[in-house]
């Protein structure tokens, strides 16, 4: 099964080897036909603690690293 790859902005880097990434998506409302922005925060594994707040990164789905971490950072823009 392919792994999901998402893009977003780092909003927190306070934890050790973990960053919180906010991913925004847009979708069309089925009734009103307007485009709506929705965001979700994901905890991602950052092995070397090299990503800081404000960085745009790509995260990839992986096997669980902890209770909340199911993603790992693979690339920075």
pLDDT at 2: 85
Domains of the chain: 5-76 (2.40.50.140)
Residues 51, 20: Cα–Cα separation, whole Å = 10
Q: Give the tens place of pLDDT for each residue, 19-46.
A: 999 999 999 999 999 999 999 999 999 9
* Phi and psi torsions of 42, nearest 5°: -125, 140
Q: Is the pTM of this model over 0.85?
A: yes
Residues sharing a CB contact under 8 Å with residue 66, sequence separation 6 or more, in sequence order: 43
Whether residue 10 contacts residue 19, with contact meaning beta carbons closer than 8 Å, is answered with yes
């Amino acid at each position: 099964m392919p792994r999901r790859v998402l893009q977003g902005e780092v909003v927190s880097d306070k934890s050790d080897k973990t960053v919180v990434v906010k991913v925004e998506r847009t979708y069309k409302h089925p009734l009103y036909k307007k485009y709506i922005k929705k965001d979700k925060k994901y905890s991602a594994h950052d092995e070397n603690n090299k990503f800081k707040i404000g960085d745009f990164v790509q995260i990839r789905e992986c096997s669980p690293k902890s209770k909340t971490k199911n993603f790992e950072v693979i690339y920075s823009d």
